[in-house]
Structure 1
Amino acid sequence: MGYLEIIIFLIIIVIALSLKLKRDRDVVLKSRDNPNEEKRGLEFSNENIRNELVIQMEMLPAEEVIDENKLVEIKDRKVLAHVNNLIPGFAQVGNAAHNAVQATQAKGEVLYRAIIPAGAKLTDSKAMDNAVRGIYHGADGIKGHANLVAVKGPTALANTAAAAMGVASMVVGQYYMTQINTELGKISQDISKVIEFQDNEYRSKVFSLLTHVKRIANFQVEILENNELRLSKITQLDSLEVKGTELLGQANLTLVEYTQKKEPDYNVYEENLGEIQKWYMYQKSLLDVLYKISELRYALHFGQVSREQCVALLPTYTQQVIDAREELTNWHKDMIKYLNIETEEKRIKRFGLDRALYTIPSLFKDEFKYKSMAENTVKLIEEQSVTIGEIYDYDTSTLYTEDVQLIAKDGKIYYLPETILGRN
């Protein structure tokens, strides 16, 4: 009986080992980058592998035309290093020397393209040589898989899950932040045009706000690649948004106060125009900064928070600006009517002693009833009288949810957004 029990026990062990080996063949067990890495089980088998997609690094056919004006060169060394780690040799395949023969055959320059799919969660795979298995997660879980292979040559397109998704977010994030930083620079120039301001404390607060927001947009790579720092900057943006709304509220109230002054004197009206313009410029710039804060928040969230959530406060403060502008517009209309100003002709009816002096000449020529106005004065009246309506909008593009197209050309790497920045 003892021998029989031993034989049965050995049979059970053999069956168990056979089942285990079969499972091991069906599941991706470990990373090809680190042979000593601990085995990782995944929640699928070969039965689940369907709708496979090959993500390619390919030489673009000659007939495919790319609008080179839309290409955004990736210049930052750190971003390029991440791209190179993700797609080794990608820049090299696009250099002139490498493509001499291909260029001759194609009768033009040669471009290579690599696409990081939107929403892909990548893990290492041993299913193919020089390949990485990608797992696509949808709303209902795993949707399918992808083998990343180089069409022209043995270069693998990815090596780790974090690298693939990290590079995609970094490329798109830097693109967004570069655009925002450029627009913040324009806002800064507008504020700088405001001449010496009697309330220097307010002026310094506005510049401080803009400087801090611009600084967050400036340090692009350092923020994007450091998750803790990125989250801290999002918190800082929330604080800066509060300061911005307070400053904007003060500008709105000050503008409305001017509209309460029903001064019948033209000289007083003309003097007020200059003071109003300062607050008018601050109001416009502050609202612009708040919009940039919302767009920067979306960029730092890597698109994981909706556009609507990022701009949740903007409609309220935009409406306050619209209301203040409408009061200012109506005030100008009243003053123009009362003072007999004709902005199109850039003139005003004479008044006081001046009108008396021209009483007789005006009997023979109607033009003597008016005197010309300074061009700058007319310009201020027209600018401040514009009703903004729905002028203000925000970026609605969602590049984080789109495939990231990278183009190699002449040894340089470019990002090609699928859509341009949209406005709502």
Structure 2
Amino acid sequence: MELAKRVQTLTPSSTLAITAKAKALKAEGYDVIGLGAGEPDFNTPSHIIEAAGKAMQEGHTKYTPSGGIPDLKDAILSKMKRDQNLTYSPSEVIVTTGAKHALFTLFQVLLNKGDEVIVPAPYWVSYPEQIKLAEGAPVIVKAKEEHQFKITPEQLEEAITEKTKAVIINSPSNPTGMVYSEDELRAIGEVCLRHDILIISDEIYEKLIYSNDKHVSMAQLSDKLYKQTIIINGVSKSHSMTGWRIGYALGRTEIIQAMTNMASHSTSNPTSVAQYAALAAYNGSDDEISEMRKAFHKRLDTLHSWLLAIPGVSCEKPMGAFYLFPNVIRTATICGFKTVDEWVTALLEEEKIALVPGSGFGSPDNVRLSYATSIDQLEEAAKRIQRFVDKHQS
């Protein structure tokens, strides 16, 4: 039986693939250090777990409204007012089964066949695939390393056509960890307003910024940009709740309503208990989040310095998320490999270090390293990479 054409063009997730291979090697008894994880290594804060248990005991185990329980919507609206001074109404927010589902549903309700979405590269692996599933066309714009992997207004302008429907801005970024400044966002926003292009602002890593700057959302910058922006967010990274699968989207009522209608025919609703857990996350203390952020910051500083000591490696130091995205093409070359993908495969086979090749993110000269693991593990990983490079240098 022939499968639908919409799935025949899909590229498997490189992050999930490398994680699966690392887990398989671990199951065989190998001492594998996985630096491919896209999730915090901290457990969900205890008060959130307790709230989930309480919700179950109180009988909150049934269907909920498709767009999310009213209390959680209110908590999200309060969070937006508190953090970004943005005011939304309940009709302008939908709770989804993770931020990935929010993006998927948004593309489904937004795109007609052939509509274009501008995707800055390096990009999160699912952006192009979700656009293709909605019969849209991802237009990849390569951000330069010397620009900290951030696209310029000029690049955006050049990529716009009469078919352009939206642009994705992910800040802090997966996979690079880079953060757009307020001035950079404003300049990009002006281009979008001039061409009436929707801005999809993926802010899932907003709580993981390591400078003194606060997170800035495109929607904060002007009334016009507020109306032109759809915010995607969730509790997965901020509260170490990846498995709970709670995300949300905020924006124009007609778009949010269409997303809610679609969700009613797909997921019915996000998991009821997980919604009550997310409610506790937004209504509770941020102390554990602050501790997690401090730990990530320390790991970033440490791992970045270790990487720069490896021959051939160059790496812009990021300001957010929990990834480093070094350029290792020179390292691969001096080790005798034709591509970074081959270098990554050999590194996993010989030294049992799992990195994600940058080819999956549209940047084949780079690799993504997640520092969502202990300092001891990161130090051992750096030693093994150094040993591998020493062994293979020609």
TM over 0.5: no
**Greater helix percent: which structure?**
1
- Larger Rg belongs to: 1
Q: Which one has more relative contact order, counting CA pairs under 8 Å at least 6 apart? A: 2
TM-score by length of 1: 0.21
TM-score by length of 2: 0.22
